[in-house]
């Protein structure tokens, strides 16, 4: 992993992982004094082998190593294939430097375009999360605490249905509505409100509306699951004591649903910030969004190390956001990832 020639090492990793599992099983036996049976005895040899192989392959080859390789690549210079592993293949911060200051040869100016797109992406994603929370909360509360089971089932079906239509088509639907000859422009022009079509796409209204729409389901489900477990008697009791409705929500329901709110916000933020379909379909030529820039590092600039660096920046942002939400809500990961 340290250089392009060191890769045979990675084949040692599954062996190490199996050794680690084996050690864990040993420890478990000693520590608790309870289970006399080892991991293999407990699951039966075939199943135990399946578990170890499957989990090792998934965790190592599909999750950890790809991420490590991407991070490692982000610290490499862009080189033609011939020079890879050669004397010029040294670790460097130039890809991150580029993100902040633009090209190394012109480090006078700051890389305004990318930084602005990046901060706008973060800001808009936070807004999307808050907007979704505000819009979804009443419905989630209604379904979880007020509506009858049959109606809840029907509503759930209604909610899920639009989300099986893929993201691009959902974005496309907004394009039909917002384009210069789309429904809204036709309507307001026919009504004589304007004589020129409004460029909803160029001024990013379409993009933000589409983003607000795209991941609402995640928010509703997270909220619904959390509020559903709240004992209705608590609300009744508060009402009996004369608490006004806003008080009930602010001091009973919302604190109780905190893990759900945190998980909904995290998911919507992550999905919005990492969204590619909405900016591609609904973004205008001058729209600023981070993922298309990232996409272009790979497919237009053909600068993979730089793309990897940008991807890592996005990943770090999402991780920080998760940590921030956990810290703010005083929660642990297990509570929000359900």
Partner 1 sequence: MSSRSVLNVMLAFYMAVFFGFLFGPLIIMGVSAFNTSTYPQVYPIEGFTLSWFDKLLSDRDMVYGMKNSLWIGMWVVLLSVPLGLAGAMMMNQVYHKARSFYYVIVVSPVLTPGIIIGISTVVFWRDLTTTTGSKFLYDGVFLTVLGQSSFISAYSMLMFMSRLNRFDRAQEEAGLDLGATQTQVFFHILLPFLRPAIFSSAVLAFLSSFENYNTTTFAILADKTLTTVLAGRVRQGTTPAISALAVLIIAVTVTGAIIYELVKRHEDRKRQERLDAAHKAERMELQSIENATLHA
Partner 2 sequence: MTAAVEIDHLTVQFGLFTAVKDVSLQIRQGEFFSFLGPSGCGKTTILRTISGFQDPSKGIIRIGGQDMQGIGPNQRPTALIFQNLALFPLMTVAENIGYGLRVRGVPKADRDRKVDELLNLIALSDQGNKKIEELSGGQKQRVAIARALAVEPKVLLLDEPLSALDLKLRQHMRNELRAIQRRVGVTFIYITHDQGEALTMSDRIAVMNRGHIEQVGNGRDVYENPETAFVAAFVGENNGFTGMVTRVADGLATVETALGTFNGVNRKSLAVGAKATLFVRPELMRFDGEGENIIDGHAADAAYEGITTHLTMKAKDSSSVVATIAGATAKAFPESGSSVRFAFTSRDATVLPA
Q: Least separation, in Å, of the C-beta of 35 and partner 2? A: 9
Alpha helices in 191-303 (DSSP H): 205-214, 216-228, 232-240, 245-248, 254-256, 258-273, 277-282, 290-299
Q: Least separation, in Å, of the C-beta of 25 and partner 2? A: 16
Q: What is the rounded distance in angstroms from the CA atom of residue 238 to the CA atom of residue 244? A: 9
Q: Residue 139 burial by CB count (10 A; 0-12/13-18/19+): exposed, middle or buried?
A: middle
Q: From the list partner 1, partner 2, none, which binds 304 (C-beta under 5 to 8 Å, kind-based)?
A: partner 1
Q: Least separation, in Å, of the C-beta of 150 and partner 2? A: 23
Nearer to partner 2, 36 or 330 (CB): 36
Tokens of 36: 């006399």
Q: From the list partner 1, partner 2, none, which binds 315 (C-beta under 5 to 8 Å, kind-based)?
A: partner 1
Contacts of 43 (CB under 8 A, 6+ apart): 51
- Residue showing tokens 């619904």: 224
Other C-beta atoms closer than 10 Å to the C-beta of 179 total 18
Q: From the list partner 2, partner 1, none, which binds 254 (C-beta under 5 to 8 Å, kind-based)?
A: none
Please check whether residue 74 is in contact with residue 305, taking contact to mean a CB–CB distance below 8 angstroms.
yes
Nearer to partner 2, 2 or 32 (CB): 32
Binders of partner 2 among 9-38, rule CB under 8 A?
32-34, 36
CA dist list (Å): 151 to 29, 144, 145, 236: 50, 11, 12, 21
Nearer to partner 1, 99 or 213 (CB): 213
Nearer to partner 2, 12 or 32 (CB): 32
Single out the residue of 158, 278, 141, 146 nearest to residue 222, CA to CA. 141
Nearer to partner 2, 34 or 157 (CB): 34
Q: Least separation, in Å, of the C-beta of 36 and partner 2? A: 4
Q: From the list partner 2, partner 1, none, which binds 120 (C-beta under 5 to 8 Å, kind-based)?
A: none
Q: How far apart are the first and last CA of the chain?
A: 33
Binders of partner 2 among 106-125, rule CB under 8 A?
none
Q: What is the rounded distance in angstroms from the CA atom of residue 91 to the CA atom of residue 120? A: 30
Q: From the list partner 2, partner 1, none, which binds 298 (C-beta under 5 to 8 Å, kind-based)?
A: partner 1
Q: From the list partner 1, partner 2, none, which binds 273 (C-beta under 5 to 8 Å, kind-based)?
A: partner 1
Q: Least separation, in Å, of the C-beta of 30 and partner 2? A: 12
Nearer to partner 1, 111 or 275 (CB): 275
Nearer to partner 2, 41 or 231 (CB): 41
Q: From the list partner 1, partner 2, none, which binds 235 (C-beta under 5 to 8 Å, kind-based)?
A: none
User: How many residues of this chain interact with partner 2, rule: CB under 8 A?
Assistant: 5
Angle between helices 112-141 and 94-101 (to 10 degrees): 80
Other C-beta atoms closer than 10 Å to the C-beta of 41 total 12
Binders of partner 2 among 33-72, rule CB under 8 A?
33-34, 36, 41
Residues near partner 2, by CB under 8 A: 32-34, 36, 41
């Amino acid at each position: 992993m340290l250089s392009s020639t060191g890769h045979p090492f990675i084949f040692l990793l599954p062996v190490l992982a199996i050794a680690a599992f084996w050690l864990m099983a040993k420890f478990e036996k000693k520590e608790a004094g309870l289970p006399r049976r080892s991991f293999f005895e407990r699951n039966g040899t075939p199943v135990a082998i399946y578990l170890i192989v499957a989990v090792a392959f998934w965790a190592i080859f599909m999750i950890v190593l790809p991420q490590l390789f991407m991070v490692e690549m982000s610290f490499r210079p862009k080189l033609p294939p011939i020079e890879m592993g050669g004397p010029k293949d040294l670790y460097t911060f130039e890809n991150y430097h580029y993100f902040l200051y633009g090209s190394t040869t012109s480090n006078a100016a700051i890389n305004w375009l990318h930084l602005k797109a990046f901060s706008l992406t973060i800001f808009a994603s936070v807004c999307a999360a808050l907007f979704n929370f505000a819009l979804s909360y009443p419905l989630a509360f209604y379904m979880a605490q007020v509506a009858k089971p049959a109606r809840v089932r029907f509503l759930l079906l209604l909610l899920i249905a639009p989300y099986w239509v893929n993201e691009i088509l959902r974005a496309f639907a907004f394009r039909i509505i917002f384009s210069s000859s789309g429904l809204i422009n036709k309507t307001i022009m026919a009504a004589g409100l304007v004589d020129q079509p409004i460029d909803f796409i160029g001024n990013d209204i379409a993009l933000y509306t589409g983003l607000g729409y795209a991941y609402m389901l995640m928010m509703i489900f997270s909220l619904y699951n959390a509020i559903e477990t709240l004992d209705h008697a608590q609300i009744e009791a508060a009402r009996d004591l004369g608490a006004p409705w806003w008080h009930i929500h602010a001091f009973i329901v919302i604190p109780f649903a905190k893990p759900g709110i945190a998980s909904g916000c995290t998911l919507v933020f992550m999905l919005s910030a990492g969204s590619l379909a909405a900016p591609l379909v609904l973004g205008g030529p001058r729209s600023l969004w981070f993922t298309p820039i990232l996409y272009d590092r790979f497919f237009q600039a053909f600068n993979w190390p730089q793309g990897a660096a940008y991807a890592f920046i996005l990943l770090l942002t999402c991780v920080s956001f998760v940590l921030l939400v956990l810290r703010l809500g005083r929660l642990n990961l297990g509570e929000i990832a359900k």
